[in-house]
Amino acid sequence: MPTKIRLIDRLPRIAVTIQANGQSITLENVLIDTGSVTTVFKTDPLSQVGIGLLNNDIVHTMYGIGGREFVIAKRLDTLILSDIPKLKPEQRNEAKRFVTLIDALYEHKVKLISTAAVAAEFIYSEGDGSFEFARTVSRLAEMQSAKWIEHG
Amino acid sequence: MTWQEIREKYPNCWVLVEAFDATTENGMRVINTLIPLGEFGDDYKPAWDRYKALHQLARERELYVLHTNREELNIEVLDGFGRKLADAYQNTPH
Q: What is the pLDDT of residues B24-78, one digit of tens each?
A: 998 899 999 999 999 999 999 999 999 999 998 998 899 999 999 999 999 998 8
Residues A63 and A14 in one domain: yes
What does the pLDDT look like over A14-36, one tens digit per residue? Answer: 888 898 999 999 888 888 776 66
Does the distance separating the beta carbons of B82 and A58 come in below 8 Å? Answer: no
Please check whether residues A96 and A34 belong to one and the same domain: no
Closest CA to A16 of B74, A24, A50, A8: A24
Model confidence band, residue A139 (pLDDT cutoffs 50, 70, 90): very high
Q: Are residues A57 and A23 in the same domain?
A: yes
Residue B15 in contact with partner chain A when CB distance is under 8 A:
no
Q: Which of A11, A26, A64 lies closest to B93 in CB terms?
A: A26
When mean pLDDT is compared across A33-47, A136-150, B79-93, the lowest value belongs to: B79-93
Q: What is the ipTM of this complex?
A: 0.78
* A103 and A131 part of one domain: yes
| pTM for the predicted model, two decimal places | 0.77
Q: Is residue A33 part of a domain?
A: yes
Q: Are residues A115 and A88 part of one domain? A: yes
Q: Do residue B75 and residue A59 have CB atoms under 8 angstroms apart?
A: yes
- Answer yes or no: are the C-beta atoms of B43 and A26 closer than 8 Å: no
- For chain A, positions 43-72, list CB contacts with chain B under 8 A: 43-45, 47, 52-56, 58-71
Cβ contact A61–B77 (<8 Å): yes
Long-range contacts of A69-78 (CB under 8 A, 24+ apart): A69/A40, A69/B55, A69/B59, A69/B81, A69/B85, A70/B62, A70/B63, A70/B64, A70/B65, A70/B75, A71/A38, A71/A40, A71/B78, A72/A43, A75/A108, A76/A108, A76/A110, A77/A110, A77/A111, A77/A152, A78/A110, A78/A111, A78/A112, A78/A113
Surface-to-core class of residue A123, CB atoms within 10 Å of its CB (0-12 exposed, 13-18 middle, 19+ buried)? buried
Domain-located, residue A131? yes
**Minimum distance, in Å, between the CA of residue B21 and any CA atom of chain A:** 15
Domain count, chain A: 2
| Residue to substitute from B13, B17, B74, B89, interface A, most A β-carbons within 10 A | B89
Give me the domain span that covers residue A32: 6-72
Instruction: Round to whole Å and give the CA distance between B68 and A55.
Output: 8
How far apart are alpha carbons B82 and B63 in whole angstroms? 20
Q: Which of A41, A53, A67 sits opposite B91 (nearest CB)?
A: A41
Cross-chain CB nearest to B82 (options A13, A35, A67): A35
Please tell me which residue of chain B has the smallest CA distance to A41: B89
B37 touches chain A (CB under 8 A): no
Final residue of a structural domain among A72, A106, A129? A72
Q: Per DSSP, what are the bridge partners of residue A81?
A: A114
Residues A63, A91 within the same domain: no
Amino acid at A20: A
Q: Are residues A84 and A122 in the same domain?
A: yes
